[in-house]
Amino acid sequence: MKFDYDLIILGSGPAGFSAAMQSTKFNKKVLLVEADEKHLGGAWINAGTVPSKALREAAAIIYKHSQSFGDTEGKKAFQRFKMKDLLRYKSKVVDYENSEVKRNLIKNEVDTARGYGRIIDENTVEIDSHTGKKKRYTSKFILLSTGSRSEPPAKFTVDHKIVKDNTSLTEMTHIPRRLVIIGSGVNAVEYATIFAALGTKVSMLNLQKEILPFLDDEIRDEFFTALKKHRIVISDNVVIESVDLNRLRNCTEVRFKTKDDDRLQVIETEQVIHFGRRMPNTKDIGLENVGITTDSRGYINVDKHYRTSVPSIFAAGDITGQPGLASASFTQGRVASCNMHGESEMELAGFNPYGIYTIPEISSIGLTEKEAEGLGKDITIGRAFFKELTKSSVSNNELGLLKLVIDTSTQKLLGVHIIGEFACDLIHIGQSVLVNDLEVSYFIDNILNYPTFSEAYRVAAFNGINRINKAGVKYRKTTESA
């Protein structure tokens, strides 16, 4: 049977974009369908990853300046900048990234169509264009990569003026003096530190028991030190009662209780940002027309090749559930493309890192100390506090910890956990050692540039190996006194 395309992709985020790019390398004819009238690139470029990271970078520069040089002309660094300066910085980045996506699609001869895509049958997609026209195309394969969105709050409304979400906050008109963040996921904590770095007094209302429960315990302790330094106040186990304007006091009141305490508490604030749970964009894309199965929360079930329950239809990115990251979505889209075009039986590699772009950053790969112990492994920990590094003192970045989880008998690396400047980049050094199943002596036997943050690996490896070999004064004294 002859089809219009080899592949039709619904959604131009990282999963759809990378699948399109990979498919053109197999000389396949691709149509990329995007529902957004203005932009390609999805949440990745227009509402999530890129704008939040650009704002984070701008805030971190301002914060660093204020930490390093103090007040200039009687003003703190953040008082010398306005929201419009940060938005200008962000817009420049977003515009550039948007143009890069377009340039790559044109260069690789990917056809694009604007409109809402829906599956009609195993090989047909209908596009509802913004002008009201409907058009159908056939394809050998279909990739669903329509992403996710934030679940709306139950007790109040996101009006995008006083109460914002992750999209509308990127167009905030001023830096608020007081801000309440409702939610406690990665995006919520990132924005909490971004605004705190700009001088905003931030209160976080965490609807869960703990913040970032998946972090290694010591890294979380360091993170709480950073939050304290930012003067961010956190309430856990919160149940929101209402968010209302108090005209008399000219402020917004957030009323809440906690699951452990029935007293009503009130925070007066200028601005609220709501970060809801992520939900898959699976509604009305025609899953029922072909019988694609989903889990209880609506995420599409896929196998390790990203194939759905229908052989000609694949799905990748947030629409398939965890981890809900652009980083993973890029690879998932590529793996799906490789498998549908029959070039290989590809799967995602193990050891996925995660990066949290708080100020300071957090990143991790492999087993935490607790997980390794839970698996009954005999482990030794190697630590490097950033204050031990010359790079930290010359760059005025002393808060930080790099922690290695080492298998005691083989001295192989089991996990790396970092909080501190450039943690999200530094993690990939550990990733190489972990993936290649090397011993931590790698960090000692090879010369590392000096001064660098990478040296934290050397310091932590020495710390761990010395502990294993009971080498040094600390252990001699223990042995002598025994």
Alpha carbon distance 307, 473 (integer Å): 58
Considering only 20, 30, 35, 418, the residue that binds ligand FAD (CB under 6 A) is 35
Applying CB under 6 A, does 327 fall inside the site for ligand FAD?
A: yes
If the CB atoms of residues 31 and 389 are measured against ligand FAD, the closer one turns out to be: 31
> What percent of the residues of the chain are helix, what percent strand, and what percent coil, each to the nearest 5?
35, 25, 40
Give the interface segment with ligand FAD, choosing from 143-151, 265-273, 402-410, 426-434 (CB under 6 A): 143-151
- Please report whether residue 285 would count as binding ligand FAD according to CB under 6 A: yes
Q: Does 14 bind ligand FAD (CB under 6 A)?
A: yes
Candidates 48-56, 85-93, 289-297, 441-449: pick the segment binding ligand FAD (CB under 6 A): 48-56
Residues 271, 182: contact at Cβ < 8 Å? no
Q: Which stretch binds ligand FAD (CB under 6 A): 43-51, 368-376, 377-385, 438-446?
A: 43-51
* Binding residues for ligand FAD, total number by CB under 6 A: 37
| 86 is an interface residue for ligand FAD by CB under 6 A | no
Cis peptide before 323 (omega within 30 of 0): yes
Pairing type for strands 111-114 and 201-205 reads: unpaired
Q: Quick one: tokens of 434?
A: 């972990």
Q: Which of 6, 7, 8, 11 binds ligand FAD (CB under 6 A)?
A: 11
Candidates 5, 8, 16, 407; binder of ligand FAD (CB under 6 A) is: 16
| DSSP state letter for 146 | -
The span from the CA of 66 to the CA of 49, in Å, is 26
Q: Does 145 bind ligand FAD (CB under 6 A)?
A: yes
Considering the rule CB under 6 A, would residue 241 count as an interface residue with ligand FAD? no
Stretch that binds ligand FAD, among 47-55, 171-179, 297-305, 380-388 (CB under 6 A): 47-55
Is position 457 an interface residue for ligand FAD (rule: CB under 6 A)? no
Tell me the C-alpha to C-alpha distance, in Å, between residue 434 and each of 260, 389, 394, 411: 42, 23, 30, 11
Positive or negative, the CA dihedral 209, 211, 215, 219 is: negative
Q: Which of 22, 23, 24, 49 binds ligand FAD (CB under 6 A)?
A: 49
Q: Out of 222, 318, 369, 455, name the contact with ligand FAD by CB under 6 A.
A: 318
Distance between CA atoms of 362 and 77, rounded to whole angstroms? 24
Burial class for 291, CB neighbours closer than 10 Å (0-12, 13-18, 19+): exposed
Cβ closest to ligand FAD, residue 356 vs residue 379: 356
**End-to-end CA gap in the chain:** 82
Residues in 335-374 at the binding interface with ligand FAD, rule: CB under 6 A? 357
**Strand ranges in 371-448 using DSSP code E only, listed in sequence order:** 379-385, 401-407, 413-419
Cβ-in-10-Å burial (0-12, 13-18, 19+) of 81 comes to: buried
Site string for ligand FAD, 165-194 (x = CB under 6 A): -x--------------------x-------
**Contact residues: ligand FAD, CB under 6 A:** 10-16, 33-36, 42-44, 48-49, 52-53, 116-117, 145-148, 166, 187, 281, 285, 317-319, 324-327, 329, 357
